[in-house]
């Protein structure tokens, strides 16, 4: 079975532009989370979606938005890009969003560079 797939793998944008990152979860997984990983640091939570609804949001500005589709795939959108948005954007999936804790399975990420 395929793991979590993300596209594109690399992206170069300029300040002020908009970007859309895409993620397909593992087959059967209904929850998708997005994390931002700045070089040299651990991943930081941005969003979590389950059954097309936002179930959690980290401390990120409103320039960041996301959505989940009926097939459980997801998009992360970032508007008005800043140099500080340069990072590895990771998508992770898990089976459900129940009270039982579940491990996250990560994709390889999209490396975004803002010039």
Partner 1 sequence: GESVGLHLPTLSVQEGDNSIINCAYSNSASDYFIWYKQESGKGPQFIIDIRSNMDKRQGQRVTVLLNKTVKHLSLQIAATQPGDSAVYFCAETRDAGNQFYFGTGTSLTVIP
How are the residues of the chain apportioned to helix, strand and coil, as percentages rounded to the nearest 5? 5, 50, 50
Token pair 């970007």: residue: 19
Exposed e or buried b for every residue in 30-48, given b needs 16+ CB within 10 A?
bbbbbbbbeeeeebeebbb
Query: Which residue from 2, 41, 59, 70 is in contact with partner 1, where contact means CB under 8 A?
Result: 41
Instruction: Using CB under 8 A, count the residues that bind partner 1.
Output: 28
- The window from 12-20, 27-35, 62-70, 71-79 that contacts partner 1 (CB under 8 A) reads 27-35
Q: Which is nearer to partner 1, 35 or 64 (CB)?
A: 35
Q: Which range, of 12-20, 64-72, 79-87, 106-114, touches partner 1 by CB under 8 A?
A: 106-114
CA distance 106 to 112: 17
Our CB check for partner 1 shows the closer of 23 and 78 to be: 23
């Amino acid at each position: 079975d395929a793991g979590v797939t993300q596209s594109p793998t690399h992206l170069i944008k300029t300040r002020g532009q908009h970007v859309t990152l895409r993620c397909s979860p593992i087959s059967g997984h209904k929850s998708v989370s997005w994390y931002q990983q700045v070089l040299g640091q651990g991943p930081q939570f941005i969003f979590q979606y389950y059954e097309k609804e936002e179930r959690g949001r980290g401390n990120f500005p409103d320039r960041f938005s996301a959505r989940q589709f009926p097939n459980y795939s997801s998009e992360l959108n970032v508007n008005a890009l800043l140099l500080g948005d340069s990072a590895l954007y990771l998508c992770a999936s898990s089976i459900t969003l129940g009270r039982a804790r579940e491990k996250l399975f990560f994709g390889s990420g999209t490396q975004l560079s803002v010039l």
